[in-house]
Amino acid sequence: MADDPQPITAAATSHPRVLLVVDDESLDRFGVIAKYMVVGLADSAVRVTVLARTRNPPAALELGPCDAIHDPPSRWWARNRVPAQLRELAGEARIDIVHCLSTDLAEWATRRPELARFPLAAHISDVVDLGRWQLIGSVRPRIWALPATPTLFRGVLDAHRVPVRRVKLVRLGVLGQKGTPVFAEEGYTPSAVAVTRLDSHCGLDCVLRAMRGVLDDGRETVLFVIGKGPAERRLRRVVRELQLQGSVIFVGTLSQWLPAMLGCDMMLVPAPPTRWSCLVLHAMAAGRVILATRENQEDYLLHDQTACLFQAGSAEDLQRQWERLLAEPHTARQLAANAQQFVKTHNSLSVMVEALIELYGEMMAK
């Protein structure tokens, strides 16, 4: 795989020992990026131990070549109870750095006396992380913020919780995927996929109204909806009312959604997400066209450059942008190629791993 991270030698230390703290919520959002991170660090001579505060044991999480400690929910009720392996690891100073996938986990780590003497780094992947960072950024002297985008980087600096030297931009990296070029087959009905929880804020009402307009204007398209939720029954009723039964397919939840996405031309983000997830980056890396709301948290979604953006809640604007892509397949293909190149340049696995290795060197040098 051409985009696999290459071993990188840290300047300040050749073998940093990192405790990577994860939980179910962060793994749901990071997806396979967490595994890519572990594999890339291991290939770069970083010794990683994963502390999994998860329901399933670490072996079931498939996080790659690392030691693992499980801290299941059954232990969480006891404030001072932590796994014996963690106490042993910390007590014998076999940790150099504590690395948390979210500010929630960083907040937990700051309360653990076993981890108090180690420098700590926390990923800030969205505005929720940023808000929580403002509560913990000044809790301990050796804490680093890892914003995932330039906008979040500026947000951390504006919070004035840590010196600029302890804020490092770490773009999250994904693996490039090969799929059928979008809008490439003659006589093929273009398709879109939306991956979302089906609730009152998912934005699919707007999407269905826009789709009805697209079809009424003589365009052909199919929408696959991946996800479940309390609004599913109502949304199915809307589909029937708009007579979209032959064009909208509810798939349910999929453990492996990537193959389904590779089979579609467009990924549709119907509403501003409440939390960041890796879905859009994977779609960009796979060369899919992104049709998303202008109100998003992703710096990498640039209108008419890497994505096609519409006003959230406006079925008319969405219909207009959707029809433009269907009418101008060359424009759609160019957007997809631009997005793929953006990810290759800014959000590759090697870019992410190199930034982390550089960070660890800086943390060890302080």
- pLDDT confidence band for 296 (50 / 70 / 90): confident
What integer is the mean pLDDT of 289-308?
A: 92
Class of domain 191-345: alpha beta
Q: Above 70 in pLDDT, residue 80?
A: no
The predicted pLDDT at position 309 comes to 96
- pLDDT confidence band for 13 (50 / 70 / 90): very low
Task: Choose the most confident range, by mean pLDDT, from 79-93, 200-214, 253-267.
Answer: 200-214
What is the separation, in whole angstroms, between the first and last Cα of the chain? 36
In the chain, what percentage of residues exceed pLDDT 90? 67
What integer is the mean pLDDT of 208-230?
A: 96
The predicted pLDDT at position 12 comes to 40
Q: Is the dihedral of CA 304, 306, 310, 315 positive or negative?
A: positive
Domain ranges (residues) in the chain: 17-173+348-365, 191-345
Q: Above 70 in pLDDT, residue 332?
A: yes
Rg (CA), the chain: 22
What integer is the mean pLDDT of 202-221?
A: 96
The predicted pLDDT at position 11 comes to 40
- pLDDT confidence band for 180 (50 / 70 / 90): low
- pLDDT confidence band for 77 (50 / 70 / 90): low
- pLDDT confidence band for 321 (50 / 70 / 90): very high
3-state secondary structure (DSSP) of residue 310: strand
Q: Above 50 in pLDDT, residue 8?
A: no
The predicted pLDDT at position 164 comes to 85
The predicted pLDDT at position 78 comes to 61
What integer is the mean pLDDT of 18-28?
A: 95
What integer is the mean pLDDT of 154-178?
A: 87
The per-residue pLDDT for range 35-60, each reduced to its tens digit, is 999 999 999 999 999 999 999 888 77
What's the chain's average pLDDT?
89
Q: Is 255 exposed, middle or buried (0-12, 13-18, 19+ CB in 10 A)?
A: exposed
- DSSP per position, 251-264: EE--S--HHHHHTS
Q: Above 90 in pLDDT, residue 257?
A: no
Q: Above 70 in pLDDT, residue 2?
A: no
The predicted pLDDT at position 103 comes to 94
Q: Above 60 in pLDDT, residue 9?
A: no
The predicted pLDDT at position 255 comes to 75
Class of domain 17-173+348-365: alpha beta
Let me know if the fold of 17-173+348-365 is the same as that of 191-345. yes
Q: Is the dihedral of CA 276, 278, 284, 285 positive or negative?
A: positive
The predicted pLDDT at position 3 comes to 45
Least confident of 16-20, 204-208, 218-222, 273-277: 273-277
The predicted pLDDT at position 325 comes to 95
The predicted pLDDT at position 225 comes to 96
More confident residue, 137 or 247: 247
Separate counts of helices (H) and strands (E) for the chain = 14, 12
In the chain, what percentage of residues exceed pLDDT 70? 92
What integer is the mean pLDDT of 88-93?
A: 85
What integer is the mean pLDDT of 209-216?
A: 97
The predicted pLDDT at position 209 comes to 98
More confident residue, 291 or 91: 291
Q: Above 70 in pLDDT, residue 16?
A: yes
3-state secondary structure (DSSP) of residue 145: strand
B/e letters for 41-53, b = 16+ CB within 10 Å, e = fewer, are bbbbebbbbbbbb
